[in-house]
Amino acid sequence: MNPEDFPTPDADVETVTPEALKERIDAGEDVTLLDARMQSDYDEWRIDGENVTSINVPYFEFLDEEIDEDVLDQIPEDRNVTVLCAKGGASEFVAGTLADRGYEVNHLEDGMNGWASIYERVEVSNYDGAGTLYQYQRPSSGCLGYLLVDGDEAAIVDPLRAFTDRYLDDVEELGAELAYALDTHIHADHISGVRDLDEEGVEGVIPAAAVDRGVTYADDLTTAEDGDTFAVGDATVEAVYTPGHTTGMTSYLLDDSLLATGDGLFIESVARPDLEEGDDGAPDAARMLYDSLQTRVLTLPDDTLVGGAHFSDAAEPADDGTYTATIGELEAQMDALTMDEDDFVDLILSDMPPRPANYEDIIATNLGQNVVDDDEAFTLELGPNNCAASQESLAGD
């Protein structure tokens, strides 16, 4: 149903912004959510947390004037409940219906679409290169990006199309100009912002090794070969070819301090190897990933920070609130990084999660083969990223 199709309850209910809800969750408050989406949508993607109680009752259960008592019994009467849905229309109706019956409720503004619009910038305090480094965090999908600012120049690694204006505004606020927008690879879980930023006068950069996948716009951008460097003020960004998750995967070493690894290595897992060539090509990709990790990543100094393009619920942030860790810490914590090649390949192929939602359409869009408007792009990337292998099987004891 469209929001305007829902009946209007008598009671007015308070609207809660996504940012305010996240602040409550981050502060450790006990939060109770009533998710009014269909069960299939709820099972795929929802707001979770140690202090979050989440209840799924689809909105249609509240459409009849006489609501089944079994439905109402699922909703606590002794605490405030935040109702949410996909876009905010159904949740306002359900919250009003419950308020009419005496429940203490509010509803989430813009629903899960609003939740997906949260994008936070956190300084990486352990970064010790030139300039200042920030990590962008999108809690709805676990997407991460990196903004390096030194003097009046800046570079963004793995930008999202949905936040093109945000990057430009942030960099202006920081007294700099965005010189580069760099992609680590052809993403399968979100729409890249590199081309949009390039159209705004920023130099867009994609890995040269990714072009053969069918990129249609390579002549319009700069292509980065292994070892190429880009100056950002006094800082240097170096391209480090690390294939495995994709054949074109390229990490970026930010002034010898942090390696932005894209989807090659996360602080809680390693890449899944099946999104480019499918199940048939996954074993070879896994061996390629093993070689990249052992010869290109783990050979860097132990105190080099690693920052992936995603984090999952299994990831524990560092003291500064960023999802970063040193190479030494990851080797000590992740069994997969100290295995021999055959065991590594067997492990990461043994328990891969479902592929990201709409990943084929997202890949085609990022290759330039599929054209979507901003609203379609935003909708395509809603949901979990699932670009990592199973965290449960990879972590150490």
CATH label of the domain that carries residue 25 = 3.40.250.10
Note if 85 is an active site residue.
yes
What is the predicted pLDDT for the residue at 9? 67
Q: Tell me, letter by letter, the H, E, C secondary structure of the chain.
A: CCHHHCCCCCCCCEEECHHHHHHHHHCCCCEEEEECCCHHHHHHCCCCCCCEEEEECCHHHHCCCCCCHHHHCCCCCCCCEEEECCCCHHHHHHHHHHHHCCCCEEEECCHHHHHCCCCEEEECCCCCCCCEEEEEEECCCCEEEEEEEECCEEEEECCEHHHHHHHHHHHHHCCCEEEEEECCCCCCCCCECHHHHHHCCCEEEEEHHHHHHCCCCHHHCEEECCCCEEEECCEEEEEEECCCCCCCCEEEEECCCEEEEECCECCCCEECCCCCCHHHHHHHHHHHHHHHHHHHHCCCCCCCEEEECECCCCCCCCCCCCCCEEHHHHHHHEHHHHCCHHHHHHHHHHCCCCCCCCHHHHHHHHHCCCCCCHHHHHHHCCCCCCCECCHHHHECC
Both 214 and 319 in one domain: the answer is yes
Look at residues 115, 130, 152 and tell me which one is the last residue of a structural domain: 115
Residue range 205-262, pLDDT digits in tens:
999 999 999 999 999 999 999 999 999 999 999 999 999 999 999 999 999 999 999 9
Domain count of the fold of the chain: 2
What is the predicted pLDDT for the residue at 388? 82
Residues 6 or more apart whose CB falls under 8 angstroms from that of 135 comprise 121, 122, 123, 124, 144, 145, 146, 147, 307, 322, 323, 324
Catalytic one among 21, 75, 84, 85? 85
Both 68 and 152 in one domain: the answer is no
Both 376 and 350 in one domain: the answer is yes
Both 74 and 196 in one domain: the answer is no
- Full-prediction pTM beyond 0.85? yes
Look at residues 83, 115, 147 and tell me which one is the last residue of a structural domain: 115
**Residue 192: which domain range?**
120-394
For residue 97, which of 110, 81, 113, 109 has the smallest C-alpha distance? 81
Both 47 and 132 in one domain: the answer is no
Both 198 and 293 in one domain: the answer is yes
Both 71 and 140 in one domain: the answer is no
What is the predicted pLDDT for the residue at 330? 97
Q: In what order do the strands lie in the sheet with 120-123?
A: 120-123, 132-138, 143-150, 153-157, 177-182, 203-207, 222-224
pLDDT in single tens digits along all 397 residues of the chain: 554 566 666 678 999 999 999 999 999 999 999 999 999 999 989 999 999 999 999 999 999 888 999 999 999 999 999 999 999 989 999 999 999 999 999 999 999 999 999 999 999 999 999 999 999 999 999 999 999 999 999 999 999 999 999 999 999 999 999 999 999 999 999 999 999 999 999 999 999 999 999 999 999 999 999 999 999 999 999 999 999 999 999 999 999 999 999 999 999 999 999 999 999 999 999 999 999 999 999 999 999 999 999 998 889 999 999 999 999 999 999 999 999 999 999 999 997 888 888 999 999 999 999 999 999 999 999 987 778 886 544 544 3
Task: Label the pairing between strands 250-254 and 235-241.
Answer: antiparallel
CATH of the domain at 380: 3.60.15.10
Both 225 and 304 in one domain: the answer is yes
What is the predicted pLDDT for the residue at 248? 96
Both 203 and 317 in one domain: the answer is yes
For residue 310, which of 140, 126, 83 has the smallest C-alpha distance? 140
State the Cα–Cα distance between residues 207 and 157, nearest whole angstrom.
12
* Residues listed for the chain: 397
265: left (phi over 0), alpha (psi -120 to 50) or beta: beta
Look at residues 115, 149, 173 and tell me which one is the last residue of a structural domain: 115
State the Cα–Cα distance between residues 365 and 190, nearest whole angstrom.
9
CB 98 within 8 A of CB 81: yes
For residue 315, which of 301, 329, 302 has the smallest C-alpha distance? 329
Both 69 and 161 in one domain: the answer is no
Residue range 53-96, pLDDT digits in tens:
999 999 999 998 889 999 999 999 999 999 999 999 899 999 99
What is the predicted pLDDT for the residue at 105? 96
Q: Which two tokens stand for residue 248?
A: 């074109």
Residue type for 264, please? Answer: G
Task: Label the pairing between strands 258-262 and 305-308.
Answer: parallel
The owner of tokens 């996360």 is 266
Both 125 and 110 in one domain: the answer is no
Both 135 and 111 in one domain: the answer is no
What is the predicted pLDDT for the residue at 12? 82
